[in-house]
Structure 1
C-alpha cells in the first residue's frame, strides 16, 4: 500500500534548496575564476541573491521542522547502522533488498541521519559564516584575512559539491534508478515486494 513519506513543504523545500545550491555553486566557482559564463559582476550579484533566497528558505524550513516536530527525523541512531553500511558497500551489488524501510515517522535510515546532521551542523555553518564574513569584509569587518576566508569558503563549497554528488548517486540505488527521485516529486513511496521481510526458514538454511 502506498503511503506518503514526504509532505508538500518538504518536497518544495528539498527541490528549492537543491536548485539554489546548484546556482550558488555555479556562480561561486565563476567568482573564483574556475570558468567564465556570466561575468564576475553578474556572477557575484546572482550569488548574493541566491544566498539571500536560501537564507529565507532555511528560516522557513527551520520554523517548519520545529513546529511540526520533524526535527526528530535527524536525531542520529546506531540502530541498523552497520547493516545499512554493509548494504551500500556490499549487499547492493548482489541484488539484496534494502534493510531499511522508510515510514512517515522514520524517513531517514541511520546513515542518512548522520550525513544530513553532519551537513547541517558542520558544512552549512562553515559555508554560511565564511560567506557572511566575506560580504561584510568591504564594510570593515575583518575578522580573518580575505585569503583565509576565501580559502575556507572554497573548501566548504567543494565539500558540499561532493555531498551533492554522493546524494544524487544514492538516489539511483532504489528499486529502479528513478524511484527515489519520483518519491521526492510525489511524496509517495511505492511498496516493495522484497523489502524488509524476515527471511523464511528455507532461506535461513541456505545462508
Structure 2
C-alpha cells in the first residue's frame, strides 16, 4: 500500500463547497414545498435563490478549471472494464474482492464513475439550472412573451432534486467502500489516496 497525491487543493475545495451548497439547496428547496418545517417559506425562497446563484458561480469556476488544467480527461467515458466494475459493486465488493480498476493520477475515476459524473454534469445540472432560473424569473415571463405550465416546471425541478438526493446518498455510501471505511473520506480531505493492492470489499477477512 502506497500513498499518491490525487486531489489538488482546489479540487478538494470545490468538492466540499459543492456538497454543502447542494445540501443547502435540497434543504431549502424541500422547505419551499412545505416538506420541511424550517426555514419558513419566505426565508426558504430567499436562501434557495442565494445558494443557487452561489452554486452556479462555483460550477462555472469548476468547468473553467477542468478545461484549463486538463482535468476534464478524467471524465471521458470508456467501456473498458465497465462491466467488471459494475459486477464488483453488485457482487464482488461483498465477497472481499479487489477493485478491478486502480486509481492513478492519470485516471482518478473508474468507468462507472466517469459515466455517472458526466451524466450529472451534462444532464441533471443543466436541467436544474434552466428550471431554477425559469422559476426565479417567473414573474417576468410576460415581458418576453414566454409561457409555460408552472406545475410542469416545478415537477421537473423537484424530480431533478430527487435525482441529486439519490446521487448524494449513493456517493456517501461509496465513500465507505475503500480498504477502510474512511479511506476515501480521508483522501478527499488530505489529497492523498492509498493505493497498491486495490480496494477491498467490506466483508474481506483481515
Same fold judged by TM-score > 0.5?
yes
Question: Could you tell me which residue of structure 2 aligns to residue 116 of structure 1?
Answer: 117
DSSP-derived class of the 2:108 partner: coil
1:60 aligns with 2:91: no
CA RMSD for the aligned pairs? 1.2
Shift of 1:59: 1.1
Question: Could you tell me which residue of structure 2 aligns to residue 25 of structure 1?
Answer: 26
1:10 aligns with 2:14: no
How far apart in 1 are the matches of 2:55 and 2:74? 21
Question: Could you tell me which residue of structure 2 aligns to residue 203 of structure 1?
Answer: none
How far apart in 2 are the matches of 1:76 and 1:143? 37
1:162 aligns with 2:163: no
Question: Could you tell me which residue of structure 2 aligns to residue 144 of structure 1?
Answer: 148
Question: Could you tell me which residue of structure 1 aligns to residue 107 of structure 2?
Answer: 106
How far apart in 1 are the matches of 2:11 and 2:149? 38
Shift of 1:191: 3.2
Deviation beyond 2 Å, 4+ runs, structure 1 = 140-143
How far apart in 2 are the matches of 1:195 and 1:154? 38
Cα displacement string for residues 23-51 of structure 1 (whole angstroms, at most 9, x for unaligned residues):
00000000011121110111111101101
TM-score, normalised relative to structure 1: 0.91
How far apart in 2 are the matches of 1:55 and 1:40? 22
Q: How many residues align?
A: 195
1:195 aligns with 2:198: yes
How far apart in 2 are the matches of 1:146 and 1:164? 27
Aligned 8 A contact 2:103 2:195 in 1? no
How far apart in 2 are the matches of 1:35 and 1:164? 18
Aligned 8 A contact 1:133 1:143 in 2? no
DSSP-derived class of the 1:2 partner: strand
Q: Which of residues 172, 180, 183 in structure 1 aligns to 2:184?
A: 180
Aligned 8 A contact 1:84 1:100 in 2? yes
DSSP-derived class of the 1:190 partner: strand
Cα displacement string for residues 47-88 of structure 1 (whole angstroms, at most 9, x for unaligned residues):
011011101111111111100011111110001111111111
Shift of 1:136: 1.1
TM-score, normalised relative to structure 2: 0.91
Shift of 1:98: 1.1
Shift of 1:2: 1.5
Name the stretch that deviates more: 119-128 or 107-116. 119-128
Name the stretch that deviates more: 18-27 or 145-154. 145-154
